Structure 1
């Protein structure tokens, strides 16, 4: 939930770190029902699709009870498991604020929830995307360490002009990552697990490329913000993701400055290819071409 281009400080009512009160008591029955509808739909779909770490986290946090979760309730268990907590923010926050929260094991989450007619597509992340999609993975100690390291790396990268490359790492792992398991490919990215349609598309559709995780190759690859992805990167394990990214990115950034971007639909000779996609969905115009 980071964004650049903020010209001033926090909005009225927000603290210096951009946090606000969740004000859980203000949610309406209709808003709680939207959460329940989304939760029940995804909970029925994700077994056999989401990775074990996500499903275990979903159970541990009991996100089904009482509609939209109260952050303080789930924080008690989250802190016990990995030392993380969820903090409410008014929307997108500046990059430095976002990175600082992650570096200190705080996950910034929006508190609003989508309308009933927006169940399948929302431009700005809401509380369902942020809490259902992201927070279960933060119960896993390995992924929790990765997220903290990402925040620390973001703070270091702020003055190096490479945030666009670092943003791609977040996008293709935290938001839209796939994992290789003995049972087949599984989802761990929040942007997929919180979306019914992309939970199906990411694993089943012949259109996208599914490429083995390679840090520098990934950081050279643009992404789609308004539609299904044309490429998904597949990690071999959470341990491998953490270990690959627990390094000084300084030398990587220097190499990336001399390297061109990789086309979003490209398959390189050096890629480990899980699926060489048809790209038919993107060629047909994507979301806006669907009938």
Structure 2
């Protein structure tokens, strides 16, 4: 992962920050306002990333890119893209400035609306971005919403998020999102494939997640996932692997009440740890993390 911006390179400003915001935090994408440079930046990101994902992304994702008519012809118009997606699974994409409050986010998901940041990363942030932009949200997340099983899971997650907020168990539910929606892997014809948007939108992590010997790759288990902490500013130390999207539906379409009761007294598992009962597909060497600067490697 590329280094963060230095003091000599101040973080470029998200030009949508001052946009008029509706009560549900949505804004006007104002698609006509994107510059030629911004459209060209999308085209480069799209072309480079899609090439890396061939043979790495799950077939559901690659098929959806075609079905939704993604292309290298500039930043997608969310309204027109939503019309195509809605015809497939009933979902729509709503533009926002950046991250939205949890309760707003869950309400959108529960009503089959996916909030997507409207800004596109700058040239200085092409390899590292602190907050999700339109490329991460549209290219990374939206194609999977064309898969009926996955689309239903995300809606159920939104409804479950509202309950988790009320019960004070949001950190546990956030881990489920992180290790599936953002950084999930799935088996396909005996191989591992990517379906998480955080991996999809990063060419470097697309290679790391599948090929590097450093991270653990472990069979998905709901309770194990919801006990496992994660890191937000580097590659993952562990990836959880689904047998299929049917497994995701089967394990998550249950009453989380008893699970939350157990999690209330369960210890947190660090991302580099393996525990008894893990279905270990690959025991990571952690070499990537140990070879980082001493201060960074101390937690590996």
Residue 188 (structure 1) aligned to one of 185, 195, 201:
195
Residue 215 (structure 1) aligned to one of 222, 230, 240:
222
- Please report how far the alpha carbon of residue 116 of structure 1 lies from its aligned counterpart in structure 2 after TM superposition: 1.7
Match of 1:7 in 2: none
Q: Which runs of 5+ in 1 are unaligned?
A: 1-9
Match of 2:285 in 1: 278
Q: Which runs of 5+ in 2 are unaligned?
A: 1-16
Q: Deviation above 2 Å: which 4+ runs of structure 1? A: none
Match of 2:234 in 1: 227
Residue 126 (structure 1) aligned to one of 115, 133, 138:
133
Match of 1:41 in 2: 48
User: Is residue 100 of structure 2 the alignment partner of residue 93 of structure 1?
Assistant: yes
Match of 2:271 in 1: 264
Q: TM-score, normalised by structure 1?
A: 0.93
- Please report how far the alpha carbon of residue 289 of structure 1 lies from its aligned counterpart in structure 2 after TM superposition: 7.7
Q: TM-score, normalised by structure 2?
A: 0.91
Report the count of equivalent residues. 280
Match of 1:165 in 2: 172
Q: Aligned-residue CA RMSD in angstroms? A: 1.6
Specify the SS of the correspondent of 1:232: strand
User: For residues 189-208 of structure 1, what are the structure 2 equivalents within 5 Å?
Assistant: 189-208=196-215
Specify the SS of the correspondent of 2:217: strand
Match of 1:30 in 2: 37
Specify the SS of the correspondent of 2:166: coil
- Please report how far the alpha carbon of residue 263 of structure 1 lies from its aligned counterpart in structure 2 after TM superposition: 2.0
- Please report how far the alpha carbon of residue 144 of structure 1 lies from its aligned counterpart in structure 2 after TM superposition: 0.2
Q: d(CA) in 1 for partners of 2:130 and 2:38?
A: 18
2:183–2:199 CA contact under 8 A, matched in 1: yes
